[in-house]
Amino acid sequence: MKISIVGAGSSYTPELLEEMCNRRDSLPVKEIVLYDINKERLDIMTSFCQRFAAKRDLDVKIRSTMSLDDAVEGADFVDTQIRVGGNEQRVIDEKIPLKYGLVGQETTGAGGMMKAFRTIPVMLDVARRMEKLSPNGWIINYTNPTGLVTEAVTRYTNANIAGFCSGGIFPKMWAKQAMGIDYKRVQYDYVGLNHMNFISNVTIDGRPITQEEFEKLAAENDAVNPELTKLLGVLTSPYLQWYYQTQQKVNKVLAAPMTRGQEVQLLEKEVYAGYADPNNADKPAALAKRGGGGYSEVAMNFVNAVYNNVDTEMVVNVPNKGAIPFLPDSAVVEIPCLVNRRGMSPMHVANVPPMCWGLIAAVKNYEQLAVEAAVEGDVTKMKWALLAHPLVREYDLVEKLVPELLEANKAYLPQFKL
Protein backbone atom coordinates (compact mmCIF):
# COMPACT_ATOMS: atom_id res chain seq x y z
CA MET A 1 0.00 0.00 0.00
CA LYS A 2 1.25 3.48 -0.91
CA ILE A 3 -0.05 6.38 1.16
CA SER A 4 0.90 9.92 0.21
CA ILE A 5 0.46 13.02 2.33
CA VAL A 6 -0.03 16.26 0.43
CA GLY A 7 0.79 19.13 2.75
CA ALA A 8 3.12 16.90 4.76
CA GLY A 9 4.71 19.95 6.39
CA SER A 10 1.58 20.18 8.52
CA SER A 11 2.24 19.63 12.22
CA TYR A 12 -0.44 16.90 12.17
CA THR A 13 1.52 14.51 9.91
CA PRO A 14 3.10 12.46 12.75
CA GLU A 15 -0.36 11.68 14.11
CA LEU A 16 -1.16 9.88 10.87
CA LEU A 17 2.08 7.95 11.18
CA GLU A 18 1.26 7.07 14.78
CA GLU A 19 -2.10 5.64 13.72
CA MET A 20 -0.38 3.57 11.02
CA CYS A 21 1.91 2.18 13.72
CA ASN A 22 -1.12 1.22 15.80
CA ARG A 23 -2.69 -0.61 12.83
CA ARG A 24 0.40 -2.20 11.25
CA ASP A 25 -1.14 -5.69 11.43
CA SER A 26 -4.27 -4.77 9.47
CA LEU A 27 -2.86 -2.03 7.20
CA PRO A 28 0.34 -3.19 5.47
CA VAL A 29 1.64 0.22 4.41
CA LYS A 30 4.86 -0.23 2.44
CA GLU A 31 5.54 3.33 1.30
CA ILE A 32 4.72 6.75 2.73
CA VAL A 33 5.44 9.70 0.44
CA LEU A 34 5.57 13.16 1.97
CA TYR A 35 4.90 16.11 -0.35
CA ASP A 36 5.01 19.82 0.41
CA ILE A 37 5.98 23.04 -1.37
CA ASN A 38 7.95 24.25 1.67
CA LYS A 39 11.29 22.43 1.45
CA GLU A 40 12.48 23.43 4.93
CA ARG A 41 9.37 22.09 6.67
CA LEU A 42 9.32 19.03 4.41
CA ASP A 43 12.92 18.13 5.25
CA ILE A 44 12.34 18.56 8.99
CA MET A 45 9.16 16.48 8.88
CA THR A 46 10.72 13.72 6.78
CA SER A 47 13.65 13.31 9.17
CA PHE A 48 11.34 13.31 12.17
CA CYS A 49 8.96 10.75 10.65
CA GLN A 50 11.87 8.46 9.84
CA ARG A 51 13.09 8.67 13.45
CA PHE A 52 9.54 8.22 14.74
CA ALA A 53 9.00 5.08 12.63
CA ALA A 54 12.41 3.61 13.46
CA LYS A 55 11.84 3.96 17.21
CA ARG A 56 8.58 2.03 16.85
CA ASP A 57 9.97 -0.64 14.48
CA LEU A 58 7.53 0.32 11.71
CA ASP A 59 8.81 -1.40 8.57
CA VAL A 60 7.91 1.21 5.96
CA LYS A 61 9.76 3.30 3.40
CA ILE A 62 9.35 7.01 4.12
CA ARG A 63 10.52 9.47 1.51
CA SER A 64 9.83 13.04 0.48
CA THR A 65 9.21 14.68 -2.87
CA MET A 66 8.48 18.13 -4.22
CA SER A 67 6.80 16.64 -7.30
CA LEU A 68 3.05 16.34 -6.90
CA ASP A 69 2.88 13.83 -9.77
CA ASP A 70 5.45 11.65 -8.00
CA ALA A 71 3.42 11.84 -4.79
CA VAL A 72 0.06 10.85 -6.26
CA GLU A 73 1.11 8.40 -8.99
CA GLY A 74 -0.09 4.92 -8.07
CA ALA A 75 -1.10 6.00 -4.57
CA ASP A 76 -3.84 3.97 -2.91
CA PHE A 77 -4.69 6.88 -0.60
CA VAL A 78 -3.69 10.55 -0.73
CA ASP A 79 -4.26 12.45 2.49
CA THR A 80 -4.64 16.18 1.72
CA GLN A 81 -4.01 18.72 4.50
CA ILE A 82 -2.87 21.89 2.77
CA ARG A 83 -3.12 25.52 3.85
CA VAL A 84 -2.75 27.80 0.84
CA GLY A 85 -1.15 31.04 1.99
CA GLY A 86 -0.20 29.55 5.36
CA ASN A 87 -1.21 30.93 8.72
CA GLU A 88 -0.22 34.41 7.54
CA GLN A 89 -3.30 34.47 5.29
CA ARG A 90 -5.38 32.88 8.03
CA VAL A 91 -4.71 35.89 10.25
CA ILE A 92 -5.85 38.19 7.43
CA ASP A 93 -9.01 36.07 7.04
CA GLU A 94 -9.69 36.66 10.73
CA LYS A 95 -8.86 40.35 10.94
CA ILE A 96 -10.68 41.84 7.94
CA PRO A 97 -14.19 40.62 8.93
CA LEU A 98 -13.54 41.56 12.57
CA LYS A 99 -12.86 45.12 11.45
CA TYR A 100 -16.52 45.26 10.36
CA GLY A 101 -17.85 43.57 13.51
CA LEU A 102 -18.27 40.23 11.74
CA VAL A 103 -17.05 36.75 12.65
CA GLY A 104 -13.39 36.39 11.72
CA GLN A 105 -12.71 32.66 11.54
CA GLU A 106 -10.76 30.31 9.28
CA THR A 107 -13.64 28.17 7.98
CA THR A 108 -16.79 30.13 8.82
CA GLY A 109 -18.08 33.44 7.45
CA ALA A 110 -16.25 35.75 5.05
CA GLY A 111 -12.80 34.58 6.16
CA GLY A 112 -13.70 30.96 5.60
CA MET A 113 -14.88 31.86 2.10
CA MET A 114 -11.48 33.35 1.27
CA LYS A 115 -9.75 30.21 2.47
CA ALA A 116 -12.01 28.27 0.11
CA PHE A 117 -11.20 30.62 -2.78
CA ARG A 118 -7.45 30.12 -2.29
CA THR A 119 -7.74 26.38 -1.75
CA ILE A 120 -10.26 25.06 -4.26
CA PRO A 121 -8.16 25.65 -7.42
CA VAL A 122 -5.19 23.89 -5.82
CA MET A 123 -7.32 20.94 -4.70
CA LEU A 124 -8.88 20.66 -8.15
CA ASP A 125 -5.35 20.37 -9.54
CA VAL A 126 -4.60 17.55 -7.09
CA ALA A 127 -7.86 15.82 -8.04
CA ARG A 128 -7.20 16.07 -11.79
CA ARG A 129 -3.74 14.58 -11.35
CA MET A 130 -5.34 11.75 -9.36
CA GLU A 131 -7.74 11.13 -12.24
CA LYS A 132 -4.77 10.54 -14.57
CA LEU A 133 -2.13 9.01 -12.30
CA SER A 134 -4.16 7.07 -9.75
CA PRO A 135 -7.75 6.77 -11.00
CA ASN A 136 -8.63 4.08 -8.45
CA GLY A 137 -6.97 5.86 -5.53
CA TRP A 138 -8.78 7.87 -2.88
CA ILE A 139 -8.30 11.43 -1.71
CA ILE A 140 -8.85 11.60 2.05
CA ASN A 141 -9.44 15.30 2.46
CA TYR A 142 -8.76 17.19 5.66
CA THR A 143 -8.08 20.49 3.93
CA ASN A 144 -10.50 23.09 5.26
CA PRO A 145 -13.14 24.14 4.56
CA THR A 146 -13.60 20.45 3.82
CA GLY A 147 -17.28 20.69 2.86
CA LEU A 148 -16.62 23.29 0.15
CA VAL A 149 -13.45 21.54 -1.05
CA THR A 150 -15.26 18.21 -1.32
CA GLU A 151 -18.17 19.82 -3.18
CA ALA A 152 -15.81 21.43 -5.68
CA VAL A 153 -13.94 18.18 -6.34
CA THR A 154 -17.13 16.13 -6.74
CA ARG A 155 -18.77 18.73 -9.01
CA TYR A 156 -15.81 19.46 -11.28
CA THR A 157 -13.77 16.21 -11.39
CA ASN A 158 -14.25 12.45 -11.32
CA ALA A 159 -11.63 11.82 -8.63
CA ASN A 160 -12.57 9.65 -5.66
CA ILE A 161 -12.75 11.86 -2.58
CA ALA A 162 -13.90 11.42 1.01
CA GLY A 163 -14.19 14.67 2.94
CA PHE A 164 -13.50 14.33 6.64
CA CYS A 165 -13.47 16.22 9.90
CA SER A 166 -12.89 14.83 13.35
CA GLY A 167 -16.21 16.42 14.38
CA GLY A 168 -18.00 13.27 13.28
CA ILE A 169 -16.64 11.39 16.30
CA PHE A 170 -16.89 14.26 18.80
CA PRO A 171 -19.96 12.79 20.59
CA LYS A 172 -18.04 9.53 21.05
CA MET A 173 -15.06 11.47 22.41
CA TRP A 174 -17.32 13.44 24.77
CA ALA A 175 -18.88 10.21 26.06
CA LYS A 176 -15.45 8.71 26.66
CA GLN A 177 -14.28 11.82 28.51
CA ALA A 178 -17.45 12.33 30.57
CA MET A 179 -18.40 8.73 31.35
CA GLY A 180 -15.51 6.50 30.35
CA ILE A 181 -17.64 4.95 27.60
CA ASP A 182 -15.96 3.05 24.77
CA TYR A 183 -16.56 4.58 21.32
CA LYS A 184 -18.34 1.49 19.97
CA ARG A 185 -21.09 1.73 22.60
CA VAL A 186 -22.18 5.22 21.46
CA GLN A 187 -24.44 5.81 18.44
CA TYR A 188 -26.43 8.79 17.20
CA ASP A 189 -28.20 10.54 14.34
CA TYR A 190 -25.97 13.17 12.73
CA VAL A 191 -27.03 15.77 10.19
CA GLY A 192 -25.73 19.00 8.71
CA LEU A 193 -22.71 20.46 6.98
CA ASN A 194 -19.08 20.52 7.94
CA HIS A 195 -18.66 22.68 11.06
CA MET A 196 -22.42 23.18 11.17
CA ASN A 197 -24.06 19.98 12.38
CA PHE A 198 -26.56 18.60 14.88
CA ILE A 199 -26.49 15.33 16.84
CA SER A 200 -29.68 13.73 18.18
CA ASN A 201 -31.07 10.35 19.28
CA VAL A 202 -27.87 9.51 21.18
CA THR A 203 -27.80 5.97 22.55
CA ILE A 204 -25.42 3.91 24.69
CA ASP A 205 -25.60 0.16 24.03
CA GLY A 206 -28.79 0.90 22.08
CA ARG A 207 -30.67 2.59 24.95
CA PRO A 208 -31.49 6.32 24.81
CA ILE A 209 -29.29 8.42 27.07
CA THR A 210 -30.88 10.03 30.13
CA GLN A 211 -31.23 13.78 30.56
CA GLU A 212 -28.39 13.67 33.09
CA GLU A 213 -26.14 11.89 30.57
CA PHE A 214 -27.15 14.35 27.85
CA GLU A 215 -26.09 17.24 30.09
CA LYS A 216 -22.75 15.55 30.80
CA LEU A 217 -22.09 15.29 27.07
CA ALA A 218 -23.20 18.88 26.49
CA ALA A 219 -20.77 20.09 29.14
CA GLU A 220 -17.87 18.52 27.24
CA ASN A 221 -18.56 20.86 24.30
CA ASP A 222 -17.16 23.91 26.06
CA ALA A 223 -17.45 26.15 22.98
CA VAL A 224 -21.27 26.23 23.17
CA ASN A 225 -23.23 27.32 26.23
CA PRO A 226 -24.59 24.13 27.89
CA GLU A 227 -27.88 25.92 28.64
CA LEU A 228 -28.25 26.64 24.92
CA THR A 229 -27.62 22.97 24.17
CA LYS A 230 -30.29 21.99 26.72
CA LEU A 231 -32.72 24.41 25.07
CA LEU A 232 -32.08 22.91 21.63
CA GLY A 233 -32.35 19.37 22.98
CA VAL A 234 -29.60 18.18 20.63
CA LEU A 235 -25.81 18.22 20.72
CA THR A 236 -24.10 20.57 18.27
CA SER A 237 -20.83 21.18 16.54
CA PRO A 238 -18.58 23.53 18.56
CA TYR A 239 -18.78 25.88 15.56
CA LEU A 240 -22.43 26.57 16.31
CA GLN A 241 -21.11 29.12 18.81
CA TRP A 242 -20.57 31.46 15.86
CA TYR A 243 -24.21 31.17 14.76
CA TYR A 244 -26.06 31.17 18.09
CA GLN A 245 -23.79 33.40 20.20
CA THR A 246 -22.47 35.60 17.41
CA GLN A 247 -22.02 38.99 19.04
CA GLN A 248 -20.72 37.54 22.31
CA LYS A 249 -18.09 35.51 20.46
CA VAL A 250 -17.07 38.39 18.19
CA ASN A 251 -16.65 40.66 21.22
CA LYS A 252 -14.52 38.01 22.92
CA VAL A 253 -12.20 37.71 19.91
CA LEU A 254 -11.95 41.49 19.58
CA ALA A 255 -10.97 41.77 23.24
CA ALA A 256 -8.30 39.04 22.98
CA PRO A 257 -4.64 40.06 22.61
CA MET A 258 -4.31 37.99 19.42
CA THR A 259 -6.43 35.96 17.02
CA ARG A 260 -6.41 32.17 16.95
CA GLY A 261 -4.28 32.30 13.81
CA GLN A 262 -1.64 34.33 15.62
CA GLU A 263 -1.71 31.87 18.53
CA VAL A 264 -1.23 28.99 16.08
CA GLN A 265 1.77 30.72 14.51
CA LEU A 266 3.47 30.79 17.91
CA LEU A 267 2.46 27.21 18.66
CA GLU A 268 3.81 26.02 15.31
CA LYS A 269 7.24 27.45 16.13
CA GLU A 270 7.26 25.50 19.38
CA VAL A 271 6.03 22.30 17.74
CA TYR A 272 8.53 22.54 14.90
CA ALA A 273 11.41 23.11 17.30
CA GLY A 274 10.54 19.68 18.71
CA TYR A 275 10.37 18.09 15.26
CA ALA A 276 13.71 19.62 14.25
CA ASP A 277 15.57 18.22 17.29
CA PRO A 278 17.66 15.35 15.82
CA ASN A 279 17.55 13.54 19.18
CA ASN A 280 13.76 13.61 19.41
CA ALA A 281 11.57 10.78 18.05
CA ASP A 282 8.34 11.57 19.92
CA LYS A 283 5.51 14.00 19.22
CA PRO A 284 6.22 17.35 20.92
CA ALA A 285 4.00 18.06 23.94
CA ALA A 286 3.00 21.39 22.37
CA LEU A 287 1.13 19.51 19.61
CA ALA A 288 -1.69 18.81 22.08
CA LYS A 289 -2.45 22.57 22.17
CA ARG A 290 -2.87 22.70 18.39
CA GLY A 291 -6.42 21.25 18.34
CA GLY A 292 -7.88 18.93 15.71
CA GLY A 293 -7.61 15.76 17.80
CA GLY A 294 -9.06 12.55 16.37
CA TYR A 295 -8.45 13.25 12.71
CA SER A 296 -5.77 10.58 12.19
CA GLU A 297 -8.06 7.97 13.75
CA VAL A 298 -10.88 8.89 11.37
CA ALA A 299 -8.55 8.86 8.34
CA MET A 300 -7.23 5.39 9.14
CA ASN A 301 -10.73 4.10 9.88
CA PHE A 302 -11.54 5.01 6.27
CA VAL A 303 -8.38 3.36 4.94
CA ASN A 304 -9.23 0.19 6.88
CA ALA A 305 -12.85 0.16 5.68
CA VAL A 306 -11.84 0.50 2.02
CA TYR A 307 -8.62 -1.53 1.93
CA ASN A 308 -9.95 -4.45 4.01
CA ASN A 309 -13.55 -4.14 2.76
CA VAL A 310 -14.94 -3.83 6.28
CA ASP A 311 -18.45 -2.37 6.47
CA THR A 312 -18.01 0.72 8.65
CA GLU A 313 -20.43 3.49 9.57
CA MET A 314 -18.65 6.84 9.35
CA VAL A 315 -19.62 10.50 9.18
CA VAL A 316 -18.38 11.76 5.81
CA ASN A 317 -18.82 14.80 3.58
CA VAL A 318 -20.54 13.39 0.50
CA PRO A 319 -23.05 14.46 -2.19
CA ASN A 320 -26.51 14.45 -0.63
CA LYS A 321 -28.29 12.19 -3.17
CA GLY A 322 -31.60 12.56 -1.36
CA ALA A 323 -30.35 11.87 2.17
CA ILE A 324 -31.51 15.30 3.38
CA PRO A 325 -34.75 15.90 1.44
CA PHE A 326 -34.73 19.72 1.47
CA LEU A 327 -31.25 20.06 -0.11
CA PRO A 328 -30.17 19.49 -3.74
CA ASP A 329 -28.80 16.04 -4.61
CA SER A 330 -25.46 17.59 -5.61
CA ALA A 331 -25.03 19.45 -2.30
CA VAL A 332 -22.21 18.00 -0.20
CA VAL A 333 -23.47 17.29 3.31
CA GLU A 334 -21.89 15.82 6.44
CA ILE A 335 -23.86 12.70 7.31
CA PRO A 336 -23.39 9.03 8.27
CA CYS A 337 -22.38 6.72 5.42
CA LEU A 338 -21.70 3.03 5.05
CA VAL A 339 -18.06 2.78 3.94
CA ASN A 340 -16.38 -0.26 2.35
CA ARG A 341 -14.36 -1.09 -0.75
CA ARG A 342 -17.18 0.12 -2.99
CA GLY A 343 -16.83 3.58 -1.48
CA MET A 344 -19.41 5.51 0.52
CA SER A 345 -23.17 5.03 0.57
CA PRO A 346 -25.03 7.92 2.24
CA MET A 347 -27.61 6.88 4.79
CA HIS A 348 -31.07 8.38 4.78
CA VAL A 349 -31.30 10.98 7.54
CA ALA A 350 -34.16 9.84 9.72
CA ASN A 351 -34.26 12.87 12.00
CA VAL A 352 -33.62 16.50 11.08
CA PRO A 353 -34.22 18.52 14.26
CA PRO A 354 -36.89 21.12 13.41
CA MET A 355 -35.01 24.15 14.72
CA CYS A 356 -32.00 23.62 12.46
CA TRP A 357 -33.15 22.86 8.94
CA GLY A 358 -33.46 26.54 7.97
CA LEU A 359 -29.90 27.28 9.11
CA ILE A 360 -28.54 24.23 7.27
CA ALA A 361 -30.31 25.30 4.07
CA ALA A 362 -29.08 28.89 4.33
CA VAL A 363 -25.44 27.93 4.86
CA LYS A 364 -25.62 25.35 2.05
CA ASN A 365 -26.98 28.07 -0.23
CA TYR A 366 -23.90 30.17 0.61
CA GLU A 367 -21.56 27.19 0.12
CA GLN A 368 -22.83 26.29 -3.36
CA LEU A 369 -22.54 29.91 -4.52
CA ALA A 370 -19.06 30.18 -2.97
CA VAL A 371 -17.84 27.04 -4.77
CA GLU A 372 -19.04 28.42 -8.11
CA ALA A 373 -17.45 31.80 -7.40
CA ALA A 374 -14.15 30.10 -6.46
CA VAL A 375 -14.02 28.04 -9.66
CA GLU A 376 -15.27 30.73 -12.04
CA GLY A 377 -13.55 33.73 -10.44
CA ASP A 378 -16.95 35.43 -10.42
CA VAL A 379 -17.17 38.54 -8.21
CA THR A 380 -20.96 38.72 -8.57
CA LYS A 381 -21.37 35.19 -7.24
CA MET A 382 -18.92 36.05 -4.47
CA LYS A 383 -21.26 38.86 -3.41
CA TRP A 384 -24.29 36.59 -3.72
CA ALA A 385 -22.57 34.05 -1.46
CA LEU A 386 -21.86 36.65 1.23
CA LEU A 387 -25.42 37.99 1.02
CA ALA A 388 -26.70 34.43 1.50
CA HIS A 389 -24.45 33.77 4.49
CA PRO A 390 -26.27 34.22 7.84
CA LEU A 391 -23.09 35.63 9.40
CA VAL A 392 -22.67 38.39 6.79
CA ARG A 393 -25.89 39.19 4.88
CA GLU A 394 -25.69 43.03 5.03
CA TYR A 395 -25.41 44.61 1.58
CA ASP A 396 -23.38 47.63 2.70
CA LEU A 397 -20.88 45.38 4.48
CA VAL A 398 -20.59 43.09 1.46
CA GLU A 399 -19.71 46.03 -0.79
CA LYS A 400 -16.95 47.06 1.64
CA LEU A 401 -15.68 43.54 2.31
CA VAL A 402 -15.34 42.25 -1.24
CA PRO A 403 -12.69 44.64 -2.62
CA GLU A 404 -10.68 44.45 0.60
CA LEU A 405 -10.76 40.65 0.74
CA LEU A 406 -9.83 40.32 -2.92
CA GLU A 407 -6.95 42.77 -2.60
CA ALA A 408 -5.57 40.99 0.49
CA ASN A 409 -5.64 37.64 -1.34
CA LYS A 410 -4.79 38.63 -4.92
CA ALA A 411 -1.50 36.68 -4.91
CA TYR A 412 -3.51 33.48 -4.40
CA LEU A 413 -6.53 34.15 -6.64
CA PRO A 414 -5.44 33.84 -10.31
CA GLN A 415 -8.98 32.78 -11.26
CA PHE A 416 -10.30 36.27 -10.40
CA LYS A 417 -7.90 38.02 -12.84
CA LEU A 418 -7.35 40.90 -10.41
Is residue 55 assigned to a domain?
Answer: yes
User: Residue 383 is which amino acid?
Assistant: K
Determine, yes or no, domain membership for 25: yes
Residue 55: C-alpha distances to residues 31, 33, 41, 58, 310 (Å): 17, 19, 21, 8, 30
CA torsion angle for 167, 171, 172, 178 (degrees, to 10)? Answer: 130
What is the per-residue DSSP string for 152-168? HHHHH---EEEE--GGG
Judge whether 328 lies within some domain.
no
Which residues belong to the active site? Answer: 239
Mean pLDDT by 10 residues, the chain (418 residues): 97 95 95 98 98 96 98 98 96 97 96 98 98 98 97 98 94 95 94 96 97 96 95 96 97 96 94 96 88 82 97 97 93 97 91 92 98 98 98 98 98 92
Residue 137 lies in a domain: yes
User: Cis peptide before 208, with omega less than 30 degrees from 0?
Assistant: no
Dihedral class, residue 106 (left if φ above 0, else alpha if ψ from -120 to 50, else beta) = alpha
Nearest to 222 by CA among 245, 238, 242: 238
Cα angle value 102/108/90 (rounded, 5°): 85
Cβ burial of 380 (10 Å; 0-12, 13-18, 19+) is exposed
Task: For residues 416 and 202, give the distance between their C-alpha atoms in angstroms, rounded to a whole number.
Answer: 45
For 102-156, what is each residue's pLDDT tens digit? 999 999 999 999 999 999 999 999 999 999 999 999 999 999 999 999 999 999 9
91 occurs within a structural domain:
yes
d(CA 292, CA 288): 9
The pLDDT of residue 348 is 87
How many domains, in total, are found in the chain?
1
Question: What confidence tens digit (pLDDT) does each residue in 294-343 have?
Answer: 789 999 999 999 999 999 999 999 999 999 999 999 999 999 999 999 99
Q: Which amino acid is at 25?
A: D
Of 145, 151, 143, 142, the closest CA to residue 105 belongs to: 145
In a domain, residue 93? The reply is yes
pLDDT digits (tens, 9 = 90+) for 217-228: 999 999 999 999
| 16 in a structural domain | yes
In a domain, 20, yes or no: yes
Q: Closest by alpha carbon to 215, among 158, 186, 175, 242? A: 175
| CATH number reported for the structural domain that contains residue 6 in this entry | 3.40.50.720
Phi and psi angles of residue 377, each rounded to the nearest 5 degrees, phi first:
65, 40
pLDDT on residue 295 = 85
Domain that holds residue 27: 2-163
Beta strands 77-80 and 2-6, pairing class:
parallel
